[in-house]
Amino acid sequence: MSTAVAGTSRAGAALTLYLPRLVGALIVIWGAATLAFLVLHLVPGDPVDIMLGVQSTVSEQVRESIRDELGLNQPILQQYLAYLGHVVTLDFGRSYRLQQPVTAVIGAQLLPTVQLAALSIVFALVIALAIALAARTRVARAIATLIELIAISSPTFWTGLLLLTVFSFQLRWFPVSGGQGLPALVLPALTLALPIAGILSQVIRHGLDGANAQPFVDSARARGLTFAEQLGRHTLRHASPPAVTLAAYIVGSLLGGAVIIEQLFGRPGIGRVALDAINNRDLPVVMALVIFAAVVFVVINLIVDLLYPLIDPRLRRTR
């Protein structure tokens, strides 16, 4: 990858390597979009009724004109094709409740959730590495296992409450709720990070054990490399691929977790939008979020595929 040879065979090889993955990625997004369409049309109740609300007294004539406008009177296949066209152009229709384009509703709330997720990943990585690297003796291992077990088993809405009790109500280090600035971000991000740190630490520890049994570590040790050098150049690289494999799942669970965290800490964001949409049966918003989650999943997986050869030299120039 470092030598940029622009030969046709090289490009062809890259194409055969990545084309199936790209097609696979598009299939996942298409599947999610189709599922969203089916669900929108299979859901009991008239979309127009849901849109107008239960107590609306709009006449049948107006309802009919809304149906025409939304294309609900066309054959289902035609509706489906039109819908796919809209999805491709990122047009998810209008929110039933807010009467705004769905893209605008989601776009306006994207930043707080991205900030939350980003800081959570940083926290999770730091905590996981700290635990995994500290667990080098038998006793430390037992303690690490226990910490990981508790981190994975505790629901975030409980750890969040514990952190709030101690650091916001008792010590008053952080604000109780709200979305302003870095201090308000610390506790929510930490809460979201803990279960992820637990699982990451297990995976990294497992990977380090495997790496230490490899001959290249013996050779590195024989060459007189310090522990830190071994770690940076060899063992951590070996331990990383399984952890990186989890990346897409972890980002997914950050999205899901954001729903609970944003509610718990009174923060704005995508999770809040999702919960509001669910409570009000604002289905266009829900379905756009489903497609959004699919796109995030697919993009992360593609990035992961590209990262593997950079992390583990043995995966380079294969195939």
Partner 1 sequence: MSVGRPDLLELARPAAGRRRRTVPPVGAVAGVVLGVLVLAAVLPWIFTGADPLATATSDSQLPPSLEHLFGTDKLGRDVFSRVVHGAGLSLSFGFTATLAALILGILIGVASGLAPRPVDNVIMRALEIALAFPELLVALVVIALLGPGTTNVIVAITVAAVPVYARVVRITTIQVRQSAFIEASVALGQHRVAIVLKHLLPNVIGPLLVLATIGIGTSIIAGSGLSFLGLGPVSPTPEWGLMLSDGRNSLGTAWWIAVFPGLAITVTVISTTVLGRYLQGRFEGRAR
Residue 260 is a binding residue for partner 1 (CB under 8 A): yes
CB 92 within 8 Å of CB 102: yes
The residue type at 157: F
Q: Which of 72, 114, 290, 299 binds partner 1 (CB under 8 A)?
A: 290
Query: Measured between alpha carbons, how far is 229 from 119 in angstroms, rounded to an integer?
Result: 27
Residue 158 is a binding residue for partner 1 (CB under 8 A): yes
Contact flags string 199-218 toward partner 1, x per CB under 8 A: x--xx-xx--x---------
CB 283 within 8 Å of CB 96: yes
> Toward partner 1, which CB reaches closer, 231 or 270?
270
Closest distance of CB 9 from partner 1, Å: 31
Closest distance of CB 213 from partner 1, Å: 10
Distances (CA, A) of 49 to 38, 39, 72, 317: 18, 16, 13, 58
> Toward partner 1, which CB reaches closer, 167 or 225?
167
Q: Which of 153, 171, 215, 223 binds partner 1 (CB under 8 A)?
A: 153
**Angle 177-106-275 (CA atoms, 0-180°, nearest 5)?**
55
188 CB contacts (<8 Å, ≥6 apart)? 116, 160, 261, 262, 264, 265, 267
Q: Is 208 exposed, middle or buried (0-12, 13-18, 19+ CB in 10 A)?
A: buried
Q: Could you tell me how many residues of this chain bind partner 1 (CB under 8 A)?
A: 61
247-273 core/surface letters (b: 16 or more CB in 10 A; e: else): bbebbebbbebbbbbbbbbebebbbbb
Closest distance of CB 264 from partner 1, Å: 7
Residue 81 is a binding residue for partner 1 (CB under 8 A): no
Q: Which of 255, 267, 284, 288 binds partner 1 (CB under 8 A)?
A: 255
Query: Measured between alpha carbons, how far is 16 from 141 in angstroms, rounded to an integer?
Result: 44
In angstroms, how far is CA 294 from the centroid of its own chain?
9
> Toward partner 1, which CB reaches closer, 197 or 231?
197
> Contact positions toward partner 1, by CB under 8 A?
27-28, 31-32, 35, 39, 43, 145, 149-150, 152-158, 161-162, 164-165, 169, 176, 195-196, 198-199, 202-203, 205-206, 209, 242, 245-246, 248-250, 252-253, 255-257, 259-260, 263-264, 274-275, 277-279, 281, 283, 286, 289-290, 293-294, 297-298
